[in-house]
């Protein structure tokens, strides 16, 4: 068994969308820095970024009802929706720049236009969607959204969901034509290929330990899973983008910012349609409302997917549970993550989240007929024979210490050391869709001096850098038209004017 010592400026742990995005940004901003990437599996994007392990929704809050909760006075809070949409616009701009500059290839390999639709039924649901529409449609980022409650129009747009439906019960839709389906696996692979042109990529290599040195650098212990050979990596900066595996590594690092964090694993299962005739009858991503007590990531949705240029259809998720933090993880992942610093926060969650536990138990007890019944709310004539159950990605929900207890969080959290030598990412949705702003946050927190000097390059890559698009209609239209053209999305801008083009300067 041999040992090798290597030195690098940046060590990236994990070959998913986050590490791929950070590596690509650094290659643009600081091409003289050395980068080494370590992935325990034998391919990029084989865990959460794999297209069958996530719904592929370009999460922009166009259809996801958990981002527009009801308020106590009966209104709708749209703050989170605006924030997430702003973040997705940043990701779109980076991807468009990457296509324009040869970093990414054919955009149809990873992003395709598909309507995003919010769906409710019943009087309460109808009223809620009406209020949601009234609140969002006047916002710059949501111009073009439609409110639909006419059964004939519903049938024309969603024939699969219409067939056999009793329209005696009110239905309502918030419809946005210019949503997207994103294959984050293909996107990640293309970005990794770009990063690899100026970096060392190690597949089949597991990071086993992280230890900080007196000069602020890190010793990263790595093991080759095929040969057993060991690497000792001296890195000035470490990013832990290992999905569910990030918590363990952050705990091993000993950074105080990671203390108190816990994780609760939730797996998901989806129905995948096996009947091509049904696939052809549905061309939209349609999101409904989560069951009472269910986590936001469990919002039911009937999704058109485009993977390898082939359309598909998914419905779910159905919650599952495993103590593993990754699909390729170990059953000891959860118990080994419990430390003295996070024990109380994790124990305190159970009574607070009784509804979630009750929901998970009911989901685990559900049989095939129960799953088809849930599907029938979207597809009234659903037949189990037309659908196969697949296991999707494993997600670890963040438990953050608050006082002596803890709080379960359903978002994406950046954890960075105070000295900026290490950062990691915890959490789930919207995750991949907001990878670019998340990695910009990492750069800003960890490289404050360099970040100020990078501002001109970032402005060339992301024309709206440092600005909000909502409320700035002229800039929004320019950015939207340019990204539509570069990403070859065959839509029009929010005003219905034929998409033009914005030609931002090429970043160095």
pLDDT of amino acid 260: 79
Element (DSSP H or E) covering residue 257: none
Distance CA 384, CA 381 (A): 10
Residues 258-278: tens digit of each pLDDT: 887 877 777 778 999 999 999
Distance CA 205, CA 191 (A): 19
pLDDT of amino acid 429: 64
pLDDT of amino acid 186: 96
pLDDT of amino acid 293: 58
pLDDT of amino acid 188: 96
Residues 377-403: tens digit of each pLDDT: 999 999 999 999 998 877 777 777 777
Q: Three-state DSSP class for 147?
A: strand
CB 115 within 8 A of CB 176: yes
Specify burial of residue 332 (Cβ count, 10 A radius: 0-12, 13-18, 19+): exposed
- Above pLDDT 70, what percent of the chain? 90
Distance CA 56, CA 322 (A): 22
Nearest to 125 by CA among 101, 143, 149, 106: 149
Specify burial of residue 257 (Cβ count, 10 A radius: 0-12, 13-18, 19+): middle
Nearest to 59 by CA among 363, 407, 436, 426: 436
Q: Which residues pair with 182 in a beta bridge?
A: 111
Q: What angle do CA 269, 273, 279 make, to 5 degrees?
A: 135
Its pTM stands at: 0.90
* Ordered alpha helix ranges (H), 213-267: 246-253
Instruction: Cite the beta strand spans of 344-421 per DSSP E.
Output: 387-402, 405-409, 412-416
* Residue at token pair 């809070």: 77
Distance CA 72, CA 5 (A): 59
pLDDT of amino acid 326: 77
CB 411 within 8 A of CB 313: no
Task: Give the single-character DSSP code of 417.
Answer: -
Q: DSSP for 226-254, please give it.
A: TT--EEEEEEEEEEE--GGGHHHHHHHHT
Confidence of residue 503 (pLDDT cuts 50, 70, 90): very low
pLDDT of amino acid 316: 87
Mean pLDDT on 65-93: 96
Distance CA 151, CA 275 (A): 25
Give the chain's mean pLDDT.
88
CB 221 within 8 A of CB 195: no
- For the record, the structure tokens of 165 come out as 């439906």
Q: Three-state DSSP class for 470?
A: coil
Q: Three-state DSSP class for 187?
A: helix
- For the record, the structure tokens of 178 come out as 């210019």
How remote is the C-alpha of 408 from its chain's centroid?
Answer: 18
Bigger pLDDT: 265 vs 131: 131
pLDDT of amino acid 505: 38
Q: Rg (Cα) of the chain, in Å, rounded?
A: 23
Cβ of 233: how many Cβ atoms within 10 Å?
23
Q: What is the dihedral of CA 472, 430, 453, 446, to 10 degrees?
A: 150
| Maximum CA extent, the chain | 72
Q: Which residues pair with 316 in a beta bridge?
A: 301
pLDDT of amino acid 353: 63
pLDDT of amino acid 496: 32
pLDDT of amino acid 500: 38
Instruction: Cite the beta strand spans of 244-320 per DSSP E.
Output: 262-273, 285-287, 301-307, 310-320
Specify burial of residue 248 (Cβ count, 10 A radius: 0-12, 13-18, 19+): buried
Mean pLDDT on 158-170: 97
Q: DSSP for 95-126, please give it.
A: HHHHHHTTSS--GGGTEEE--EEEEEESHHHH
Distance CA 62, CA 243 (A): 25
pLDDT of amino acid 410: 65
Confidence of residue 484 (pLDDT cuts 50, 70, 90): very high
pLDDT of amino acid 223: 96
pLDDT of amino acid 296: 58
């Amino acid at each position: 068994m041999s040992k090798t010592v290597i030195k690098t400026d940046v060590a990236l742990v994990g070959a998913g969308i986050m590490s791929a995005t950070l590596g690509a940004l650094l290659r643009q901003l600081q091409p003289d820095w050395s980068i080494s990437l370590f992935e325990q599996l034998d391919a990029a994007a084989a865990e959460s970024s794999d297209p069958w392990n996530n719904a592929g929704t370009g999460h922009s809050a166009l259809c996801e009802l958990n981002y527009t909760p009801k308020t106590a006075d009966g209104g709708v809070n749209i703050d989170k929706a605006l924030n997430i949409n702003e973040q997705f616009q940043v990701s779109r701009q980076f991807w468009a720049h990457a296509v324009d500059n040869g970093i990414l290839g054919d955009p149809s390999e990873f992003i395709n236009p598909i309507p995003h639709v919010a769906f409710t039924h019943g009087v309460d649901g109808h009223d809620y969607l009406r209020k949601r529409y009234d609140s969002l449609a006047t916002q710059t980022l949501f111009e073009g959204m439609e409110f639909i409650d006419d059964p004939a129009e519903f049938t024309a747009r969603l024939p699969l969901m219409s067939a056999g439906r009793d329209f005696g019960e009110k239905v309502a839709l918030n419809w946005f034509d210019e949503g997207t389906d994103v294959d984050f696996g293909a996107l990640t692979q293309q970005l990794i290929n770009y990063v690899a042109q100026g970096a060392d990529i190690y597949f089949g290599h597991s990071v086993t330990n992280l230890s900080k040195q007196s000069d602020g650098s890190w010793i990263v212990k790595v093991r080759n899973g095929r040969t057993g050979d060991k690497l000792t990596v001296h890195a000035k900066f470490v990013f832990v983008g290992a999905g569910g595996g990030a918590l363990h590594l952050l705990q091993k690092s000993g950074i105080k910012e990671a203390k108190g964090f816990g994780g609760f694993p939730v797996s998901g299962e989806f129905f995948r349609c096996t009947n091509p005739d049904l696939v052809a009858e549905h061309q939209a991503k349609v999101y409904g409302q989560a069951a009472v007590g269910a986590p936001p990531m469990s919002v039911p949705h009937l999704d058109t997917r485009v993977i390898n240029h082939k359309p598909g259809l998914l419905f779910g998720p159905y919650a599952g549970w495993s103590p593993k933090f990754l699909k390729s993880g170990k059953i000891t992942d959860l118990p080994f993550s419990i430390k003295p610093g996070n024990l109380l926060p994790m124990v305190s969650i159970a009574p607070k989240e009784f509804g979630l536990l009750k929901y998970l138990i009911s989901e685990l007890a559900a049989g095939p007929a129960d799953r088809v019944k849930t599907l029938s709310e979207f597809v009234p004539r659903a037949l189990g024979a037309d659908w196969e159950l697949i296991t999707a990605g494993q997600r670890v929900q963040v438990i953050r210490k608050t006082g002596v207890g803890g709080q379960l969080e359903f978002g994406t959290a950046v954890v960075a050391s105070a000295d900026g030598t290490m950062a990691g990412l915890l959490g789930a949705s919207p995750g991949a869709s907001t990878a670019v702003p998340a990695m910009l946050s990492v750069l800003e927190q960890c490289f404050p001096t360099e970040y100020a000097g990078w501002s001109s390059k970032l402005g060339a890559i992301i024309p709206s850098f440092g600005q909000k698009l909502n409320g700035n209609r002229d800039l929004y239209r320019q950015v939207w038209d340019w990204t539509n053209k570069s990403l070859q999305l065959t839509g029009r801008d929010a005003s219905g004017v034929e998409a033009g083009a914005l030609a931002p300067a090429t970043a160095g």
